[in-house]
Copies of this chain bind each other. A is one copy, B any other.
Amino acid sequence: MTTPGTAPVTAPVTTLTRDRGVTGPKGFKAAGVAAGIKESGALDLALVVNEGPGQAAAGVFTTNQVKAAPVLWSQQVLRERRLNAVVLNSGGANACTGQEGFQDTHATAEKVAEVLDIGAIEVAVCSTGLIGERLPMDRLKAGVDLAAGALAATDEAGLDAATAVMTTDTHPKQSWARHPDGWSVGGFVKGAGMLAPNMATMLSVITTDAVVDGDALDAALRATTAKTYDRLDVDGGTSTNDTVLVLASGASGIAPGAEDFVAVLTAVAADLVKQLQGDAEGVTKEISITVNGALTEADAVTVAKTVAEDNLVKTALFGSDPNWGRIAMAVGRSQATVDQHRLGIAINGVTLFTDGHRAADRSGADLSGRDVDIVIELNLGDGAATVLTTDLSHGYVEENSAYSS
């Protein structure tokens, strides 16, 4: 199975574009409308409907022990590995809202079921926004009517859905990839802060017209998210609402091999994650942290995430300072096995530290650009992993201190 870190797997993909999303694959309609949940009047309610003939679905959800009502609901309905529709709202996370909040989610699913003439158990619900506030259910239900009326299989409808889930995102994020055999995978994602998916980055819906059954879809989704969404870490903030759903219509009539399917799914997921990184709150640097030579892959991920979450590393990079000593400090405080006498660090292709010794003056590493590539050599084994992160800027502090979200 080809799942090399977060790099897009382009081998079996002939087309990869950000101009299409969930309505790219055959058999799907979508809509995004302004239901008035957000006071700004922006789009805030999205609907994605699978018209079949197949209805296989799978989901992965936040590992946070404080789970929002829509996560609890969607986990429950996904046990059947079958979905007809997904309804998503921004403007409120419906997290920490108790039994009443769960009833609101249930009522939302019932409303969608009524309008589409399906069962509530076939409807997944996702919410995003401020934690701790109840949703305005009257507006939300009226919005479902509006969205049902706007459902379309067009690229524009897919983009509306991708737009309606945005919170502090500055632009909608879509990706669509087509396999040469004629089936495709498309999706959208939202998220800009509270980003350390484990599992899943805030909300993402992926569709495919490949013929895949529920169990295979579940296995493919888990293999994919472990190498993509799980390897983005902006601020360690695994959210209460993180959800990634994949729905398969089977409308292409083609049943791909498992390896090909995971490869295309990974290409789309990696492209969506790359867009999350690029639109993270306050981002001025898009940072890739690769750890090689760890005892295990899990150790490599642990080291990379410890460095990714380290505020001293993140602020140094914001200041374009190749301060590798802070990286060494973060590596050493990780829970993975590290030998400081074998440690090496390279930044943007320049080895600054090797085998526990300074190799070059840090001024040799040029950090003036937006992309920063950090490679950490542990020289202990074969474990390797790449984690994506961003810098810690005044913009991040400003966005997260001046506004509630």
Contacts and interface: CB of A to CB of B under 8 A. Distances in A.
A132 B324 contact: yes
Interface stretch (A95-103, A119-127, A224-232, A263-271): A95-103
B96 A311 contact: no
B65 A338 contact: yes
A67 interface: yes
A236 interface: yes
Provide the main secondary structure of the chain A interface. Answer: loop
A333 B65 contact: yes
B95 A325 contact: yes
A330 B235 CA distance: 11
B332 A240 contact: yes
Interface in A316-343: 316, 318-319, 321, 323-326, 328-334, 338-341, 343
Contact of A66 (B93, B239, B310, B332): B332
A392 interface: yes
A137 to B, nearest CB: 16
Interface residues of A, number: 63
Interface stretch (A152-160, A289-297, A394-402): A394-402
A330 B66 CA distance: 9
Contacts of A240: 325, 328-329, 332
A397 B397 contact: yes
A65 B340 contact: yes
A64 interface: yes
A202 to B, nearest CB: 12
Given A333-B238, A397-B397, A401-B319, A96 B132 contact: no
Contacts of A330: 237
Interface string A238-261: 111000000000000000000000
A132 B328 contact: yes
A312 B356 contact: no
From A196, A240, A324, residue with most partner B Cβ within 10 Å:
A240
10 contacts: A65-B331, A65-B333, A67-B332, A97-B358, A131-B328, A237-B330, A311-B311, A311-B396, A311-B400, A323-B404
Given A236-B333, A311-B392, 18 more contacts: A65-B338, A66-B328, A66-B332, A66-B338, A93-B325, A95-B325, A96-B325, A132-B325, A237-B311, A237-B326, A240-B325, A240-B329, A240-B332, A315-B401, A316-B401, A318-B397, A392-B401, A396-B397
Sorted from nearest, which 8 A-B pairs have the closest CB atoms?
A: A131-B325, A66-B332, A319-B401, A315-B400, A64-B332, A238-B333, A132-B325, A65-B332
